[in-house]
Amino acid sequence: MTRVAVVRFPGSNCETETLTAIERAGGEGLLLDYRETTLQGADAVILPGGFSYGDYLRSGAIARFSPVMQAVRAHAEAGGAVIGICNGFQVLCEAHLLPGALLRNAGQRFLSRPVDVRIERRDTVCTADYAEGDVLRIPVAHGEGRFAADEATLAMLEGEGRVVMRYVSVPGTDVAHNPNGSANDIAGICNAAGTVVGFMPHPERLAEASLGSAAGHRVFTSLISRLTRTGVAA
């Protein structure tokens, strides 16, 4: 069975929902303490949402120095699957495993509401069970979710097809489609191989129908299927 480690930093608050979503997708969830120095045999890693280290300095700026991040980096550099959700995305950018930075929302307020995002790339470790162009209504909850990068980096991300999710406007809705002012409406990006992915929306919060929607469930089935298909899982 595919083992997916979910790292718990001081201040993480979405690890339980993430573990549940993994198990509902057919994987085995492993809660991994930030002080660990190995991944304990996990096939993939998820850095979950929350407020690691209280978001002091910048979101993710302290978590990137946690002991476990050396193992996460080694896993990523070896081609292993790593996903960062919300605060996890911030950590990946601070650790330079993904380019750019997540800054204070343009409105200078914490946001917690549904947004509409479009799947822009499906050949990643967590979007293969969607179709390119699928639009998901999924929640965000962040104060520092505004993706920013210099023009050269933005051009590289767009030119290489490394934008994974983008905020979009759906006809008939009356909310601003870009909740935080992210450059190019970017909600999530990946590395060139599609094996390291970070995004601000929370798929684990809508991963079963009893929650009102299972829009996020396929993020986790995509991961489990990818690892099983490629023979990574034990």
Supply 116's token pair: 């509409």
What's the CA dihedral at 15, 21, 26, 30 to 10 degrees? 0
CB proximity list for 16: less than 8 A, separation 6 or greater = none
> How far apart are alpha carbons 107 and 143 in whole angstroms?
9
Q: Look up 86 and say whether it is catalytic.
A: yes
- Identify whether 17 is a catalytic site residue: no
Contact status, residue 45 vs residue 72, Cβ threshold 8 Å: yes
Marked catalytic residue, from 14, 86, 126, 190: 86
Q: Cα separation of 7 and 83, whole Å?
A: 11
Count of H-run helices and E-run strands, the chain: 5, 11
Residues with catalytic roles: 86, 202, 204
